[in-house]
Structure 1
Amino acid sequence: MDDISPVQQWRVPASLPAAKLAGAVLLVALGLIFADGDPLRLVLAALAAAALAGWAVRDLIAPVRLVVDPAGLTVIRGFAGRRRLPWPEIEAITVERRPRWGLTSEVLEIDAGESLHLFGRYDLGTNPEEVAAELRAARRYP
Structure 2
Amino acid sequence: MDPQSPPVRQWRVPREVPVIKAVGALALVALGLVFAAGDPVRPALAGLAAAGLLGWALRDVVAPVRLAVDPEGLTVLRGFAGRRRLPWDAVEAIRLDRRARRGITAETLEIDAGESLHLFGRRDLDAPLDEVAAALTEARPAR
Structures share fold, TM-score greater than 0.5: yes
Give 1:35's aligned residue.
Answer: 36
Separation (CA, whole Å) in 1 of partners of 2:124 and 2:13: 5
Alignment map for 1:1-142 (pairs within 5 Å): 5-140=6-141
Letter in 2 for 1:39: P
Q: TM-score, normalised by structure 1?
A: 0.93
Aligned equivalents of 2:88, 2:97: Cα separation in 1: 21
Write the distance in 2 (CA, Å) between the matches of 1:119 and 1:71. Answer: 20
Q: Secondary structure at the match of 1:38?
A: coil
SS at match of 2:41: helix
d(CA) in 2 for partners of 1:5 and 1:78? 28
Taking only aligned residues, the RMSD between alpha carbons, in angstroms, comes to 1.4
Shift of 1:100: 4.0
Ranges in structure 1 where 5+ consecutive residues have no aligned partner: none
1:15-58: CA deviation from partner (whole Å, max 9, x where unpaired):
00000000000000000000111010111111111101100000
Residue 121 of structure 1 and its aligned partner are, at CA, apart by 0.5
Task: Note the alpha carbon deviations across 1:88-128, whole angstroms, 9 max, x for none.
Answer: 00000001112245321111100000000001011101111
Report the Cα distance in structure 1 between the residues aligned to 2:122 and 2:67, rounded to whole angstroms. 12
Query: What is the TM-score with the length of structure 2 in the denominator?
Result: 0.93
For 1:44 and 1:100, the matched residues in 2 are separated by: 32
Q: Counterpart of 2:68 in structure 1: which amino acid?
A: V
**Partners of 2:6 and 2:85 in 1: CA distance:** 18
Instruction: Tell me the percent identity.
Output: 65
Q: Tell me the SS of whatever aligns to 1:82.
A: strand
Q: 1:46–1:139: structure 2 CA closer, same or farther, 3 Å change rule?
A: same
Aligned pairs, number: 139
